[in-house]
Every structure is written in structure tokens, then in C-alpha cells.
Amino acid sequence: MKLWGRSVRILWISFRIFVSYLLLSFASPLFPHRTKVRWMDALHLKNATLFLETAVSLKGLMIKVGQFMSARVDLLPKAYTQTLSLLQDEVPGVPFSEIYAKITEELGASPETLFRSFDEIPLASASFGQVHKAVLKEPLPDSTTEVAIKVQYPHIESIVKTDLKAIRLIVLVLQKIFTHIRFDILISEFERIVHLELNYIAEAKNAEKFHKLFLEDDRFVVPRVVWPFTTEKVLTLTRVTGIKINHLNELKEAGVSLKEVAELLVESYMKQILLYRFFHGDPHPGNLFIQPGRPLRLVFVDFGMMQEIDNKTDKGLRRTILAIINRDTPSIARGLIDLGFISRKRRGGNLDELEQVIQFFMDRYRDISPRAFRTITITDIAEDLGKTFSIYSSLQVPNLFILAGRAVGMLNGLCSQLDPDANIIELAQPYAKRFASTRSGIMDLLARGKEIVSTLLSLPEALQSFLELSHGSGVQTHMTSEGVEATLTKIYNLAYRFLALLTIVLIYIYIKFTSH
């Protein structure tokens, strides 16, 4: 198919799906509720199947969009998530002759020359490339010989460029209809991620960094990069195996506790976001595997969509944490501005509306407990925040938080599959306690000085004076074990509330700014 034909087909399919829902919405008031529900379910299945067929036929970005949609079990109708989940396993690849030519071009020699063996049948096929198993002629230092080689499809860059033009046009139309959603931010971030994923050197560096972060914890498995066989279009990693995280029956047959899998998954992301400040932004089921046994191991693959939290953002988050903990609404507003959540046009202006939104949010969710959170659904949160943020039109979401929101939202969806009774905040609670009691977390804020200590713990004025005196005279302070325990308990409670707030905000961003 010619490139212009791809654009026409993408636009035509999008138009058909949109019009089908529009027509049903016009007709539905004339019929009983049960009839409307039945028709809507049938339309969901029809449109999901249409999208699946289009994605399989066109490949490229349509596969990527479909995989993203299939992971949104907490948002999309079941017909969509079940139908599009086929894109996790059944993405058609390209003939081996094209892969053979690409490897020869990139690595300077044919596969049979470079490797002891090379399987022509791919292990997996993705949106931009496919993965083949190979055996090295010489083992790595740890005796590893099996590798997984991801090879980029020929001409994929031209295809992506064409698809993006069509998607931009669709987004332009959607922006006119749904003016409250910042589709421009979404498409900008999507394009950035896509271009990064087309550079396998960048992905290799991500994989190497991610591997080092989890090197000391054998519950998490990250493959290693084999640099001599890696270029911008060919990525070679040590081969890892496991049961796909959403193959629930297979996991159960292997004696794996699905609840334990959910807990391990959440812990890994708490470490990535709160401790390592470097996280995997694409936790769909095709990128996560489980190795049964003791310990239970979580396997990560595909490192094209990673995000680092820079020092400026980290410091801004920590300052905003303190403001949230202390119910300091003006400081929270300033923190949101510093973090880039408020457009430049409103900076320096009247922030009364923003402070009203923040105050509502604080009153509604600040003191949330695990028990109370169980009664609140993600939909409730989206509706509450949607109503409040709609009165403040200058809200915008920085790129980092879009990806973080997407990751946490997908994480929430996966956890709901693994354990329908799972609550992402409750699962994160134990890690919040550990995070609060380490220098990498809020204790790091305590170490910064007397002002933060007094703000965070609301110390009596006399104690604050004592801290000022000791700071100036070199006097060392001492706390009993009981005092330390009480302090850490209070810090934990505050950290837990912040963690709840952060997760709620990220999931809301995922719902509001990645819906399309």
C-alpha cells in the first residue's frame, strides 16, 4: 500500500467509528435502557474488531495505539481490551528475507556469519520491529550464549512519519470537539516517545541503566545489552523468559499467587518512581513476565519508553509534598507553577481559582486512609477532579507527568486484572513506609535543616528554638528510640497520604490527558 493510502485508511476508519457512536447517541433516547445497552455492547465489539483488523493490516503506529488501548482495562469497555489484547501476541511480522537484509546492512555481515545459530521464526513481533532468538559463537563473561535480537522493520521511519500526519489531523478535529482536553500536549509527547523508540541505541542505554538499578535485587530481572551486536536499528539483549503477566490461568497452574504478582509489580514501580527516579513507561502485558519459584521474579523487556525524573522536578515535587502535608494551599499553587502544571499566561496573575481547586482536592483526599480509599473508584476520582479542574482552563500537564500518569494508569489496570480486589494505594503502603524511613525519601528532607523539620512535624516553638541554637553552636541533638519510632510513624502517615495523592493525580492525568 502506498503511504498516502495509509493516511486515507486511518482517517476513514476513525471517521466511521466516530460517526457510529454519534448515530447511536442520537437514536438511543427513543429506546429502552436495556436495548441501548445491548446495542452499545454490540457496537463496541464491532468497532474494536474493525480497529484490530486495521491495525494488523497497516502495522506501524496503529499497532502501538492498539496495544496501548488493550491495557486500559480500567477505562475502556471489555470488548475493546479483550479484542485488542490480540495485538500483544499476534502482531504479524515481515518476511525473514527483509530481516536478514537489515541485519547484514547494520552489522556488516550475515546472521550465519555472526552467530552460531539464528532462528528465522520470530519470538515476537511488535509495532516497529520483531525479535529473533540467536546463539552467540562466544559466551559472555557469565557464560550466557542465548540472546534476543530486535530488528527494526525496513522503511518503518517513513511509515511512522505518514501515520503521524494522519493522527495529527484526527487530533486537530478532536481538539475542536473536545476543547477541554489538551490533545496538543498528548500528540507532542506521543511523537517524542515514538522517535525515541526508533533509536535502538537510546533503548540500549535505557536497558543498561535499568539493569544496574535492579542488579542487587534478584526478584527483578532485566536483560543485559550485548553491545557488539547493537546499532540504531538492531538491538541485542541477553534472552529472558517467563510467563506473560496477564496469562492468569498459566500463572495459577504454576502455583503463582496473583496477589503476590500485583504486590511485586507495584513495589517495582514505587522503587522506580520514588527511589530511582527512572521508570518504565510502557508496562503493558507484552512487556512484563513472571518467573515462578522462590523468590518470585518479575521480568521487564522493551526499554524504548523510559523516563528520568530530573533534579529540578524532584526538588519541586519534594517542596510540593511539604506544602500538601502542611495544607499550605498558596505554596501548593506555587509548586504546581514551578513544576509546569500552569501555563505561562496565568503566571503572576490571579490564582484564586487554582487555590479553590486545590482546596477542594485537599479536603476531599488529603486524609484518605486505605479503608476509606476502598470505597472510592477511579471513576469517582476522575469525575471529582474533572469538575474542579474544568473551572481552571490554564491547567497543563508536563510531558514527564503524562508518561508517569500513563504508566501508573496501566499499572492500575494490570493490578485490577491480577486481583479484582486490589487497591493500588494499599499495595503501595508498605513501600511508602520504607520510603519514608530512608534518606532517599522524606527523611532526606528532614536532613536538610530545621525549617523543614518544624514545618513537617509541626514542632513546638521551643523545640524549633532549640534546633536553631544547636545549629549555630554545634550542639548535637539526641532522640530516644521511642521518639524516633513516634517520629517515623508520623512521617509514614504523612508519606502515605502524599503517596495516595500522587497516585490519584497520576491516574487522573492518565484518564484526562491520554483519552482519545
Task: Provide the pLDDT for residue 113.
Answer: 97
Q: What is the mean pLDDT of residues 332-337?
A: 79
φ/ψ bin of 293: left (φ > 0), alpha (ψ from -120 to 50), beta (otherwise): left
306: three-class secondary structure by DSSP? strand
Nearest to 278 by CA among 343, 232, 334, 222: 222
What is the value of pTM for the model shown?
A: 0.71
User: How many angstroms separate the CA atoms of 483 and 173, rounded?
Assistant: 60
Q: How far apart are the first and last CA of the chain?
A: 26
Distances (CA, A) of 74 to 48, 249, 358, 414: 16, 20, 25, 9
If one counts every other C-beta atom within 10 angstroms of the C-beta of residue 148, the result is: 20
> Residue written as cell 479484582?
420
> Residue written as cell 528520568?
308
Longest dimension (CA), the chain: 81
Compare 435 and 287 and report the one with higher pLDDT. 287
Q: Is the distance from CB of 358 to CB of 337 less than 8 angstroms?
A: no
- Tell me phi and psi for residue 484, to 5 degrees: -60, -45
Q: Is the distance from CB of 493 to CB of 500 less than 8 angstroms?
A: no
Q: Is the distance from CB of 98 to CB of 122 less than 8 angstroms?
A: no
User: How many angstroms separate the CA atoms of 100 and 137, rounded?
Assistant: 18
Kindly indicate the confidence band of residue 374, based on its pLDDT and cuts at 50, 70 and 90. low
Least confident of 85-94, 364-373, 419-428: 364-373
Kindly indicate the confidence band of residue 180, based on its pLDDT and cuts at 50, 70 and 90. low
- Tell me phi and psi for residue 116, to 5 degrees: -65, -40
- Tell me phi and psi for residue 127, to 5 degrees: -70, -35
Task: Provide the pLDDT for residue 241.
Answer: 95
User: How many angstroms separate the CA atoms of 279 and 271, rounded?
Assistant: 9
Q: What is the mean pLDDT of residues 243-265?
A: 94
Nearest to 385 by CA among 399, 395, 375: 395
The single-letter code of the amino acid at 116 is: R
H/E stretch holding 135: strand 129-136
Least confident of 122-136, 206-220, 280-294, 495-509: 495-509
Task: Provide the pLDDT for residue 454.
Answer: 40
Mean pLDDT of the chain: 76
Task: Provide the pLDDT for residue 329.
Answer: 78
Distances (CA, A) of 38 to 17, 31, 51: 17, 11, 20
pLDDT at 353 over 90: no
420: CB partners within 8 A, 6+ apart: none
Report, as residue numbers or ranges, the catalytic residues. 282
Task: Provide the pLDDT for residue 516.
Answer: 40
Q: What is the mean pLDDT of residues 447-462?
A: 39
Task: Provide the pLDDT for residue 446.
Answer: 43
Task: Provide the pLDDT for residue 275.
Answer: 82
pLDDT at 488 over 50: no
State pLDDT tens for residues 396-432: 667 777 777 778 778 878 888 898 877 776 666 666 5
Strands (E), 247-337: 278-280, 288-291, 297-300, 306-308
- 66-83 in b/e form (b: 16+ CB < 10 A) is bbbbbbbbbbbbebbbeb
pLDDT at 386 over 80: no
Q: What is the mean pLDDT of residues 177-193?
A: 69
The single-letter code of the amino acid at 502 is: L
Nearest to 494 by CA among 364, 334, 326: 326
| All structural domains of the chain with their residue ranges | 3-88, 92-125+128-240, 257-280+309-516
Q: Is the distance from CB of 426 to CB of 373 less than 8 angstroms?
A: yes
Query: Which three cell numbers, joined as nine digits, stand for 155?
Result: 522503511
Least confident of 97-106, 166-175, 384-393, 433-442: 433-442
